[in-house]
Amino acid sequence: MTKPQSIDEAVTRSLERYFRDLDGTPPTAIYDMVLRAVERPMLEIVMKQACGNQLRASEMLGINRNTLRKKLQTHGLLG
């Protein structure tokens, strides 16, 4: 049985693949690209685990509820 891949291992592999696929093209805006790629699915899963309760989700994430609401809005995740 194989060990499940950790989040940091998944990010590392994805970034290594990204740089390989660039094939010499200079990378730009990597920080924002990674944050966008990770933040939305994280918010979706946490909100699902919190049954849509923003206060509970903000506590799970360790961020202020207003910050969570702004991030949900930015990603179009508010109903």
Residue among 78, 70, 15 nearest 44 (CA)? 78
In this structure, what CATH number is given to the domain that contains residue 31? 1.10.10.60
- The whole domain housing 19 covers 7-74
Helix (H) or strand (E) holding 47: helix 30-49
pLDDT of residue 1: 72
Domain presence at residue 79: no
Domain presence at residue 1: no
Residue 21 amino acid letter? D
pLDDT of residue 32: 93
Residue with tokens 């961020």: 63
**Number of folded domains that form the chain:** 1
Per-residue model confidence as pLDDT tens digits over 48-57: 999 999 999 9
Domain presence at residue 45: yes
Domain presence at residue 46: yes
